[in-house]
Structure 1
Amino acid sequence: MTELARAEPWPLRWLDVLTQVANVCGSLLISGLVLLIGADVFSRNMFNAPISGVPEMVTLSIVAIVFLQAPQALKVGRMTRSDALIGFLERRAPRVVQGLETLYDLLGMVVVGAILYATWPIFMRAWTRSEFVGAAGDFTAPVWPVKLMILVGGCLLVLQFLARILRRFLTAKESR
């Protein structure tokens, strides 16, 4: 365990635990999809009988997986971005890099916050109206669980952006 990890406030440690739990849930969804798609392919080829709802389940699951795993990707530094400028500046102007990283985190919070703001009424409508995908009589699945996962994952992502800023501040404070 690093010195910073020991010195971190408990809310940051709890956030990391919740982020890891969401990541594991996303991984379990991936495993479930692999099994479902494999069973569907087997059923189609062996019995000429596809499993109802597989395309709908895949569509819903992909969105959920992205939002459940994005916070952990951000936390461990695997969020997609170009490091060419950061790597160049890091050797020459570390304070500028800290400013750019903080700006990146703030913009990320704004963008994900906008997604959350737009998703909340969609979630409420899906919940109250019992919206579903699929064809009645064949296969239906409610859409509200996926909307909820977008909200949960989005909140964790905003909090991880904030945690990056706090960790940067704590590290800078300790190095003085």
Structure 2
Amino acid sequence: MKPWIDRALLGLHTIGAATLFALVGVIAYDVAGRLLFNRPFAGTAELTSAGLVLLTFLQAPHAMREGKLLRVTFFLDRMPPLMRRALDVLAWGIGCAIFLVFVAAGWEPAIEGWKSAEFFGNDAFRLPASPLRFGTLVLWLIGAAVCIGFVVEALRGRAATPASPTH
């Protein structure tokens, strides 16, 4: 893939790491408030649930691009290169399809959430749902685009991931 794409995916990955750091801070603040002052932070559950979703899909495209997903190559190492490429095309095609199913399934709830001003939480802490819903839609589209890039690379006879045995 192009270097600017790799830098953009690394940027998303970095934002995901910052999100994790912020979640650790929120949880630590909640625990300290609960233990020391008997006053927990009201939004911990909402922020951590939303943050974990964002964290997952912020970091997934970069992990895919770098070949850091779990792979068991015992079977693949014994296959001819053409068969490995065919399986790469199939696997990344399925990955793309899954991301696109996520987009299709999430589109309507995102629109409805926008129209109804949906929020997560209760009166003590309210978190608007629309940014999370639309953000995940964008991240799922990015994930699908990364998968399509790997399908194209495999069809051209290139390794689908840096760690791929087809190098």
- TM band (smaller chain): 0.7 to 0.9
Amino acid at match of 1:39: Y
Q: Could you say which residue in structure 2 is the equivalent of 1:82?
A: 72
Match among 139, 151, 154 for residue 153 of structure 1: 139
Gaps of 5+ in 1: 1-7
- Per-residue CA deviation, residues 83-132 of structure 1 (Å, 9 max, x unaligned), is 2211232xxx0110011011101111111111111111111111221110
Q: Which runs of 4+ in 1 moved over 3 A?
A: none
- Residue matched to 1:111: 98
- Per the alignment, residue 36 of structure 1 pairs with 26
Post-superposition Cα deviations, 1:2-48, rounded to whole Å, max 9, x if no partner, equal xxxxxx5xxx3333222222111111110000011111111111111
- The alignment yields a C-alpha RMSD, in angstroms, of 1.6
> Is the contact between residue 26 and residue 69 of structure 1 (CA under 8 Å) also seen in structure 2?
yes
Give the corresponding residue for 1:171. Answer: 158
Q: Is the 8 A contact 2:85 2:157 kept in 1?
A: no
Specify the alignment match of 1:55 in structure 2. 45
Identical aligned residues as a percent:
25
What is the distance in 2 between the residues matched to 1:98 and 1:72?
A: 21
CA contact (8 A) 1:68 1:149 kept: no
Which of the numbers 74, 85, 108 marks the counterpart of 1:98? 85
Residue 163 of structure 2 is matched in structure 1 by none
Tell me, what secondary structure is at the counterpart of 2:75?
helix
Aligned counterparts of 2:8 and 2:108: Cα–Cα separation in 1 = 24
Is 1:73 aligned to residue 63 of structure 2? yes
2:76 partner amino acid: I
Q: How many Å separate the matches in 1 of 2:14 and 2:131?
A: 17
User: Which amino acid in 2 is paired with 1:53?
Assistant: G
1:130 pairs with 2:120: no
Report the structure, 1 or 2, having the larger helix content. Answer: 1
TM-score, normalised on structure 1? 0.83
Task: Confirm or deny that 1:19 pairs with 2:14.
Answer: no
SS of the residue corresponding to residue 133 of structure 1 reads strand
Checking the alignment, whether the CA contact within 8 Å between 1:15 and 1:159 is kept in structure 2 is no
Q: CA deviation at 1:170?
A: 6.4
CA distance in 2, matches of 1:152, 1:143: 15
Q: Secondary structure at 1:55's aligned position in 2?
A: helix
Residue 45 of structure 1 corresponds to: 35
Find the residue that maps to 1:171 and give its secondary structure. coil
Aligned length: 158
Point out where structure 2 has 5 or more consecutive residues left out of the alignment. 160-167
